[in-house]
Structure 1
Amino acid sequence: MLQQQLAAALQSEAEAAGFSGSFLVKSTGAAVVSGTYGYANKSDRTFNRPDTRFGIASGCKLFTAIAVCQLIEQGRLALDSNVMDILERTHFPRFSAEFTVHQLLTHSSGIPDYFDEETMNDFTELWRTRPMYLLRRLEDFLPMFHELPMASEPGARFHYNNAGYILLGLLVEKLSGLTFTDYVEQHIFAACQMEASGYFELDALPGNTAQGYIVKDDGTWTTNVYSIPVKGGADGGAFTTAPDMLLLWEGLLQHKLLGPEMTARLLTPHIHVDKDDHYGYGVWITKRDGEVYKYHVMGYDPGVSFHSAYYPAGKAIATVLCNESRGAYRMLKTIEKCLDR
């Protein structure tokens, strides 16, 4: 019954909203429900498929958090390590010397961000004077924020921060000896058999990868190739598929990536954000009546919208990937209405 309800509700929502993307839902007691709509390439009229790769923007901060926690398990790092004791402090002349790995993971370090979502709302503005095609390594982002003053005292408050995750990626690189993207692909994607996932460059996308589209109110569109960094990194920008995200959640929950203690710590609500929303390490946590309703990740960029969640009560996993700037949220809400019945 749930499978039929989900399939019908998602088809209705996708057709009504003109959804372009892919979704997959797996729930205890119900078979997998999946579907695809729209074009991976509008010019060639190539349709999205169940195994099409989509960009997920900030949705992959969870990958960064897992990588950091793996290094902590290995004894190479600690949650209370002072970050400036490990990175070159002279590169960050106005940063506090006191913020920790834990504070970076929970967006409470107080460092400045290169895209402050509290004061900025147009990501494309960043690239009007700065060539986005030059941003291929983590250090390429540093000139955008490394000389700015602290935004607040370390630990003072939650302040969503992309630059903080860039620093976490630099820690991974320094301590592992690998580039950040190679580390994630070798130690997270490979461990979960996420064979379709990767950090691909926009000017060299592999086959079966959806273009991201910015659709205007009059229906005209452009791709997002000039609107986001050419290659993703520790703060976002990986590509994945709906089946691969299912493997990621299952790998995390089955302790293929981290031991039970560190997995529990990653999924702990460490900091309150707003109302029922909290943040763990790289993952959002929503509570209802004092209990965890869902663990979820999400990502929004020009031409990208993404949501993926695990619902512990019913052990359900849902992923929605969309190659337009809006679309994933409404589909996820449709899924949750069915799961909550």
Structure 2
Amino acid sequence: MNFLFVADPLELFKIYKDTTFSMMREAQRRGHRIAACVPQDLNWQRGRPVTAVVREIVLGADKNAWFRTEATHEVALHEYDAVLMRKDPPFDAEYIYATHLLEQAEREGATVVNKPRALRDHPEKLAIMEFAEHTTPTLVTRSADAVRAFHAEHQDIILKPLDGMGGMGIFRVKADGLNLGSITETLNKNGAQTIMVQRFVPDIVKGDKRVLVIGGKPVPYSLARIPQGTEVRGNLAAGGLGVAQPLTKEDLAIAEAIGPVLAARGLLLIGLDVIGGSLTEINVTSPTCFQEITDQTGFDVPAMFIDALEASIKA
């Protein structure tokens, strides 16, 4: 099969931990051909299909030169067996425009994973609203008064922007309310932007667990991202320590409740963030942690993903 990965520039990959790289490596191991492009390479013109200027690549063993480009040319997306949208956030206007181009490619016969409409319909912070029974108390608002009332009720809270990634822009405010007004003004731009506020979950000290669900089925291990030192954020990008561990009963219950629902909507791969048995986010754009779980447990997450991808194409 031929796979096209729409991702960040290959030169920026950190292959020792990059999930997209692990997908590529497993696909090539099975004999599939690989191409890559960035969203900027997507084009549409009336009377023509959606195309991209792509790099046909082959992976090698050299960590410093881990791929070589065999050819660069313009290709219609529907000529690939699957197009994998793996662009990292931010989920901004350009990301949304890319999903519209990919959706047009779908109308022309392309298979796109994850499905572009589903990517738009499930923003990673707000998607939890549909599954509120699994979440910690949460508020979505522009109102500073609503934030103050939420803090008065719950005393210890987390505030975060809706478009953040990797722990960016996350603040904790304890019972003393220190700097609550200033933090709220900073995040909501004096009422111009919507933010999310959640009751602080003390079990964060045990890790912010990434639970992967592939084709509606949970990977049997999570990656608990444990905050270090005085840091409240467990995100690996914020210095958290990643520790793979078997799913708990609570993790499994959440994954089994949400996974099949979102898989049926075209989300082949999702990453659930779970703290202390509470769902905090649903990651759909480019969920990670394949390599960390595989390296620590021996469970081959990339193989599970490519199995599911191949099955979805043949279905």
Which has the larger strand fraction? 2
Bin the TM-score by the shorter chain: under 0.3
Larger RCO (CA within 8 A; separation ≥ 6): 1
TM superposition score normalised by structure 2: 0.27
